[in-house]
């Protein structure tokens, strides 16, 4: 009697089965592609608020649905409703700025002429010598760049309003998924951990790194950028400048980029205010930008992030810009996450090669 058990699959059958898994996985990813943003942000928020969900489960250990629902409501109240309000204001101000540019109420050429007229004679003579005076090539290019940039920003804000139906659908899909990610997150992680064909220590390190990067990126980058943008929008509003919400959002986005920051917006505005004779407003904007907006990054980021994630500034910049070009606004988080996972994977490989066999 032959007690030897037959092998369940031959080599050819193994390869065919793996090919089938890859094909159906790609098909499933393609099926979810229209709602990629909803899935991604639901997962990101679930990871970010996982500690809160854990605390709620300690209070209601047998009521997972209630804990997930309370956590979801807190996320809506603290995060999503303020974002909806900001988006609504952004659409309104973007449409207004777009109309003013189209009608000529906002004329960057006139603003540059005012700045040129207020410059000292020695500087204007130097600019004229290099052909960069009032009629020079630099002024024309600056005017064109400023106009096109403002039209693009305002146009993007208008397009958000025009695509409101898809945004609403994605929003509710995200809320629906977020509830289940909060409730069943640990079970999903355990199932993925079981299915991934990697050694246990590698899966543990990669999973920890992924959660850490998501949390640190959202807390350390997006929260800091939102605070800087909110402060920038506030000072623009307090000084009576046009479209404070629009420029606050722009400052928030620029704050996500290392070596760029919100000063790209408020500093030129402060220079214009000083040169155009609005000295008090200009000085207030400079003082607020340097002492308040500029210090937020140095004060908040270490508190929110600590030593969770350390990447060189150049890598953060490249991964953020690359993420934006590939994924749009989601690239602000996806880019650094992919870069951090890249570093983690290669770091694990280097550690494995250094360890004695």
The tokens for 48 are: 């970010």
66 vs 310, more confident: 66
DSSP state, residue 220: I
Instruction: Tell me the pLDDT band of 208, cut-offs 50, 70 and 90.
Output: confident
Over the chain, what is the mean pLDDT? Answer: 75
Question: What number of residues does the chain have?
Answer: 357
pLDDT of residue 168: 77
Q: What is the pLDDT of residues 289-329, one digit of tens each?
A: 888 888 887 777 666 655 555 667 677 778 878 887 888 77
pLDDT of residue 129: 64
Find out whether 348 and 210 touch, Cβ atoms under 8 Å.
Answer: no
Q: List the single range of 113-127, 130-144, 227-241, 255-269 with lowest mean pLDDT.
A: 130-144
91 vs 286, more confident: 286
- pLDDT at 172 exceeding the cut of 80: yes
Find out whether 246 and 157 touch, Cβ atoms under 8 Å.
Answer: yes
Q: List the single range of 29-43, 87-101, 150-164 with lowest mean pLDDT.
A: 150-164
Minimal CA–CA distance to 162: which of 87, 244, 82, 248?
A: 87
pLDDT of residue 9: 46
The answer for residues whose C-beta is within 8 angstroms of residue 248's C-beta and 6 or more apart is 229, 230, 232, 233, 234, 236
Q: What is the pTM of this model?
A: 0.66
Q: What is the pLDDT of residues 246-299, one digit of tens each?
A: 888 888 888 777 666 788 888 888 888 887 778 888 899 989 988 888 888 777
Find out whether 285 and 273 touch, Cβ atoms under 8 Å.
Answer: yes
Q: Is 5 helix (H, G, I), strand (E, B) or coil?
A: coil
Task: Give 56: exposed, middle or buried? Use CB within 10 Å, 0-12, 13-18, 19+.
Answer: buried
Instruction: Tell me the pLDDT band of 179, cut-offs 50, 70 and 90.
Output: very high
Instruction: Tell me the pLDDT band of 223, cut-offs 50, 70 and 90.
Output: confident
Separation between Cα atoms, residue 271 and residue 278, nearest integer Å: 10
pLDDT of residue 102: 66
- pLDDT at 131 exceeding the cut of 60: no
């Amino acid at each position: 009697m032959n007690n030897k058990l037959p092998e369940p699959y031959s080599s050819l059958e193994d390869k065919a089965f793996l090919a089938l898994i890859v094909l159906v996985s790609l098909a499933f990813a393609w099926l979810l592609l229209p709602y990629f943003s909803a899935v991604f942000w639901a997962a990101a928020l679930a990871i970010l608020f996982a500690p809160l969900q854990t605390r709620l489960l300690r209070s209601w250990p047998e009521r997972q649905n209630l804990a997930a629902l309370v956590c979801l409501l807190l996320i809506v109240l603290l995060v999503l409703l303020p974002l909806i309000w900001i988006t609504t204001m952004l659409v309104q101000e973007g449409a207004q700025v777009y109309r003013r540019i189209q009608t000529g109420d906002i004329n960057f050429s006139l603003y540059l002429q005012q700045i040129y007229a207020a410059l000292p004679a020695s500087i204007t003579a130097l600019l004229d010598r290099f052909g960069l005076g009032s009629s020079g090539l630099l002024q024309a290019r600056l005017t064109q760049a400023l106009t096109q940039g403002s039209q693009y920003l305002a146009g993007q804000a208008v397009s958000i309003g025009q695509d409101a139906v898809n945004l609403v659908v994605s929003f509710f899909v995200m809320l629906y998924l977020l509830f289940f990610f909060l409730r069943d997150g640990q079970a999903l992680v355990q199932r993925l951990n079981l299915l991934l064909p990697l050694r246990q220590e590698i899966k543990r390190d990669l999973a920890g790194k992924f959660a850490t990067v998501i949390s640190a990126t959202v807390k350390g980058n997006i929260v800091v950028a939102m605070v800087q943008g909110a402060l920038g929008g506030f000072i623009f509003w307090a000084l009576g400048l046009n479209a404070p919400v629009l420029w606050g959002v722009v400052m928030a986005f620029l704050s996500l980029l290392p070596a760029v920051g919100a000063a790209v917006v408020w500093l030129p505005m402060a220079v214009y205010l000083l040169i155009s004779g609005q000295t008090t407003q200009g000085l207030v904007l400079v003082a607020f930008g340097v002492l308040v907006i500029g210090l937020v990054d140095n004060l908040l980021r270490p508190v929110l992030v600590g030593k969770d994630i350390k990447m060189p500034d150049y890598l953060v910049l490249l991964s953020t810009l690359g993420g934006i070009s590939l994924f749009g606004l989601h690239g602000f988080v996806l880019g650094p996450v992919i870069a951090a996972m890249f570093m983690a994977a290669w770091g694990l490989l280097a550690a494995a090669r250094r360890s004695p066999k």
